[in-house]
Structure 1
Amino acid sequence: MKNLDYRKPIEFTVPAHGDGAFYVMEDMGPEFYGYYHRHREFQLSYLLKGNGSFMIGNLIRPCLENEIFLIKPNDPHLFFKGEHAEEEQPVHIVHLFFSLEKLLPFFDMAELQGIRSLFYQIPSSKLLPAEHAAAIRDAFLSLSREEGAHKLIKILEIFDYLRYHEKQLISLYSGLHKVDFHDSDGVRINTVIKHAIDHYKRNVTVEEVSSLIHMTPTAFCKFFKKHTKKTFVSFLNEIRIEKACQLLVNNRVESISEAAYQCGFNTAVHFNRVFRNVMHESPSEFIAQHAVEK
């Protein structure tokens, strides 16, 4: 990934304008928004074009075309392109933001009780897989073109569709019960995450990343574990395994060993052990289940 400015805080202000209850942002370009961030609004994101990875809390998973992400308020998250994605391949994603607090009177309507429970009682952020989400693609595409009542009708159509497919939603629970840290901590976490994503192919040490944020290695380990509930080494290995999954599923390497070495592992034995620990299956089993046919 390209080097980015690490100074931005984790707190993101949705650039809403006017008095509207809903704000639509359509991102088209070479990259996703490149910062690990959070905001007070609920977010629905439809990935129209461009594959990559999605991080929420301390969970990392692939993000694929035609998937919908339901992101709870204040859940820190980050979309980023795959290491092996073509540079010229654009990203196209539509985000719908809305404030649950602001919309409380709206959702008090008897006709919207089912939809209300979806958003106000959701236990964790969720994902709607492509096989279920694709049918609502055109509704998301039209959001940036519609205004007034026509826009509201489309939004209610999306809400009702998600309510109808609530059983198909996949939990993105990351294990973080509460994410409560100041912007200065957010800047530090963001710096560490971006550095790990940029340099996962080589041996990234605790001493190296702790010096980036001006902490001692011991203080950094405690700090990182407090905010992510995992060690930095575990986090780095999960990034490596996610990258390896992208290589394996798209047949971009000749062997499992090649995927291991390309993603920063010194031996195939270590890679296989970490892969099974993260994915709960062996690389061979993963390939059999997910590999794209040539």
Structure 2
Amino acid sequence: MKTLQFTIPVAHDRTVIIQEDRMPHFYPHLHRHHEAQLMWILEGKGTLIVENNMHSFQENDIFLIGSNQSHVFKSNAEYFDEANVKQVRSISVFFDPKGKLASLFDLPELYLLQRFVKDYESGFKVPNEHFREVSRRILRLKEASQLDQLMHFFFLLRTLSLISEQATALSGGKSSSISENEGIRIGSIYHYIAQNFMKPITLDEVANQANLTPQAFCRYFKKHTRNTFVAFLNEMRVHEACKKLTQKKCESISSVAYTCGFNSITNFNRVFKSVMGNSPKEYMVNFKRNIA
């Protein structure tokens, strides 16, 4: 399992790093880095796990990940199939607010941008209605060079700051600081759940992944994620169900329930409503209405 702390490749002639990635699937391990990251999904679908929160992602979603915020863009299972011809693609903007940019943020004229970066350390998803505006800023930044690139970066930050109050937060706040070894263990747990949530998972099985007894695992998981194992597992299953319910080829609610690991329709309906606030059928109706 990869270590939690991740090092972004450094360009010594750049303060802001723009990176375009094209690969079979996104980096599959929970990780963090000193740099904040603005990530535009060009191709690919899956679940973003940030701290102890989950969000579905798809093409043309843009997320701001805070500095040192634990996260993983977990691609859907089909992207890990060797016979799969799909790929993922993204453009990321990395910047360290406490690195070379710190002295610039201290300038009185940039106080509002400094405040924005600090206030939104927990990250957010860019609202869909602002996608065109933000993506255009990212492309201008990517195509610029030297001084122009830095200027476009501040224009991008200003745009993000103006829309931030309308954005959906990625987490309720920073989790407690964890060590590298703890990060490896938690990442291993997340990875195991993400690969096996569609079938029955016992507490003994997942505790074994962390080399803990079931009782110790429950305490450990709750301490480091502020969530119970069952609640986390159910939320991951519900997020997968949401993706399937909104697909054109969705067969039925019952087939989605069993495919996502639920053992009864009654249990699926109850858990789905507790997580999403409405029933699976209401969710489908609302989605179709919004699309229309």
Same fold (TM over 0.5): yes
Task: Determine if contact 1:67/1:134 at 8 Å carries over to the other structure.
Answer: no
For 1:159, the aligned partner's letter is: L
C-alpha spacing 1:273/1:253, structure 2 compared with 1 (3 Å): same
Tell me the residue number matched to 2:49.
55
Whether the 8 Å contact between 1:66 and 1:129 is mirrored in structure 2 is no
* C-alpha distance in structure 1 between counterparts of 2:44 and 2:238, whole Å: 20
**Following the alignment from structure 1 to structure 2, what is the Cα–Cα distance between the partners of residues 79 and 113?**
31
Listed as ranges, the matches of 1:38-117 within 5 Å are: 38-83=32-77, 87-102=84-99, 103-117=101-115
TM-score of the pair, normalised by structure 1: 0.90
Structure 1 window deviating more from structure 2 (95-104 vs 53-62): it is 95-104
* Count of aligned positions: 287
Contact 1:48 1:93 in 2 (8 A): yes
TM-score (norm 2): 0.91
Q: Deviations over 1:82-131 (max 9, x none)?
A: 33569323211111111111222101223322222110222621111232
3-state SS of 1:165 partner? helix
Match of residue 275 from structure 2 = 278
Q: State the one-letter code of the partner of 2:86.
A: Q
Q: Is the 1:47–1:64 contact (alpha carbons within 8 Å) kept by the matching residues of 2?
A: yes
Matched letter for residue 276 of structure 1 = K
Aligned equivalents of 1:129, 1:92: Cα separation in 2: 20
User: For 1:168-227, what per-residue CA distance to the aligned partner results, in whole angstroms no more than 9, with x for missing partners?
Assistant: 2211224x5433111111111111111111111111111011112211111111111111
Structure 2 counterpart SS, 1:11? coil
Task: State how far apart, in whole Å, the 2-side matches of 1:52 and 1:233 are.
Answer: 21
* Correspondence for 1:228: 225
For the 8 Å contact 2:67–2:121, the answer to whether it is kept is no
Query: Residue 48 of structure 1: SS of its match in structure 2?
Result: strand
Pairwise CA distance, 1:145: 4.2
Worse overlay, 211-220 or 134-143: 134-143
Structure 1 residue aligned with 2:199, among 197, 202, 208? 202
Structure 1: stretches of 5+ with no match in the other structure:
1-6
Secondary structure of the residue that 1:195 maps to in structure 2? helix
Secondary structure at 1:191 match in 2: helix
Take 1:37 and 1:217, find their aligned partners in 2: how far apart are those partners?
25
- Paired AA for residue 60 in structure 1: M
Counting only pairs closer than 5 Å after superposition, residues 1-294 of structure 1 correspond to structure 2 as: 7-83=1-77, 87-102=84-99, 103-122=101-120, 124-174=122-172, 177-291=174-288
Unaligned runs of at least 5 residues, structure 2: none
Cα distance change of structure 1 residues 51 and 141 upon mapping to structure 2, 3 Å threshold = farther
Letter in 2 for 1:155: F
Q: Which moved more, 1:32-41 or 1:80-89?
A: 80-89
Larger helix percent: 2
Superposition deviation, residue 142 in structure 1: 4.7
Cα distance in 1 for residues equivalent to 2:43 and 2:135: 11
SS at match of 1:95: strand
Distance in 2 between residues matched to 1:136 and 1:293, nearest whole Å: 22
Write the distance in 1 (CA, Å) between the matches of 2:18 and 2:174. 29
- Please say if residues 94 and 141 of structure 1, whose CA atoms lie closer than 8 Å, have aligned partners that are also in contact: no
- Cα distance in 2 for residues equivalent to 1:131 and 1:243: 24
How far apart, CA to CA, are the structure 2 residues paired with 1:123 and 1:42? 8
Task: State how far apart, in whole Å, the 1-side matches of 2:121 and 2:196 are.
Answer: 34
Over the residues paired in the alignment, what is the CA RMSD in angstroms? 2.1
In the alignment, the residues of structure 1 paired with residue 211 and residue 22 of structure 2 have an alpha-carbon distance, to the nearest angstrom, of 35
SS at match of 1:92: strand
Kindly state the Cα deviation for residue 19 of structure 1 after the two structures are TM-superposed. 4.9
Letter in 1 for 2:264: T
